[in-house]
């Protein structure tokens, strides 16, 4: 069975967390909107009056007759099917909890450069974005990364010896924050060395390493969630 992932074709965004999971295990999948007429298919599916479980927005995943939306929900569905989630219910819920916490951090990252409205350009809220980014980098990023640094402890991965989809998502968040705020992240990571080791460990997973250097991996840009604006990365 080939999974079908529906997401915007030119940005990593929230769809990237699903891509990382599928790529890491070598699962067969089709990135639909990046194929010919794929955008038309995606929009038609979103707007279909016959679909009983429509998604508010991409990403969503199609597995035969099953359609699942929301990144964390997609990963919860995929995790046990592709070997990136534990077997017990309690352990699966713990991984899901970690993923939802990462989703909170991702949302706050976006709000740092778009603190007023997603419907306004960054240039229309630059002053507010500078204030939001200062607070985000001073308070929220250290709080979130302290939490994951503590969960990781001396383990290889967040839940022990085996990687889960939450590990791949944490890797993506670290990569995104490094792109968006390289100066501040260099400072923040110095006090949390286990996260840097963890990031390298995940990046060296064979299939993931191949994906990260391939043309399937969309590059970071100022169109996605993690955006680099030099004026927002000033060291306070």
Residue 236 has pLDDT above 70, yes or no: no
In this prediction, residues 126-154 reach a mean pLDDT of 97
Residues 6+ apart with CB under 8 A from 8: 15, 33, 58
Six token digits for residue 16 = 């990237």
Q: What percent of the chain has pLDDT over 70?
A: 100
| Position 164 pLDDT exceeds 90 | yes
Q: What percent of the chain has pLDDT over 90?
A: 97
pLDDT band at residue 55 under the 50/70/90 scheme? very high
Q: Where are the domains of the chain?
A: 89-205
The yes or no reply on domain 89-205 and CATH 1.20.1050.10 is: yes
- What value does the mean pLDDT take over residues 24-44? 96
Q: Tens digit of pLDDT for each residue in 176-202?
A: 999 999 999 999 999 999 999 999 999
Say yes or no to pLDDT of 110 above 80: yes
User: Tell me, what's the pLDDT at 1?
Assistant: 80
User: What is d(CA 60, CA 181) in angstroms, rounded to the nearest whole number?
Assistant: 29
Burial of 144 (0-12, 13-18, 19+ CB in 10 A): buried
* pLDDT over threshold 80, residue 87: yes
Alpha-carbon separation of residue 182 from 27, 49, 156, 175 (angstroms): 32, 45, 25, 10
Give the model's pLDDT for residue 235.
83
């Amino acid at each position: 069975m080939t999974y079908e992932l529906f997401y915007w074709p030119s940005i990593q965004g929230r769809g990237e967390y699903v891509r990382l999971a599928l790529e890491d295990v070598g699962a067969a999948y089709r990135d639909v909107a990046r194929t010919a007429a794929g955008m038309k298919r995606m929009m038609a599916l979103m707007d279909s009056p016959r679909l009983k479980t429509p998604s508010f927005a991409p990403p969503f995943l199609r597995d035969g007759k099953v359609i699942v939306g929301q990144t964390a929900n997609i990963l919860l569905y995929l995790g046990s099917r592709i070997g990136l989630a534990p077997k017990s219910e309690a352990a699966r819920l713990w991984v899901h909890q970690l993923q939802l916490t990462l989703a909170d951090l991702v949302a706050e990252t976006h709000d740092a450069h778009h603190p007023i409205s997603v419907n306004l350009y960054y240039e229309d809220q630059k002053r507010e974005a500078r204030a939001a980014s200062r607070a985000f980098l001073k308070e929220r990023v250290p709080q979130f990364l302290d939490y994951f640094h503590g969960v990781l402890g001396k383990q290889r991965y967040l839940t022990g010896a085996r990687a889960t989809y939450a590990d791949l998502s944490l890797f993506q968040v670290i990569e995104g924050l490094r792109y968006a705020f390289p100066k501040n992240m260099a400072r923040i990571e110095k006090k949390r060395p286990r996260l840097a080791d963890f990031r390298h460990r995940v990046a060296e997973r064979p299939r993931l390493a191949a994906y990260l250097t391939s043309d399937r991996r969309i590059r970071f840009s100022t169109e996605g969630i993690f955006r680099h604006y030099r004026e927002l990365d000033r060291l306070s």
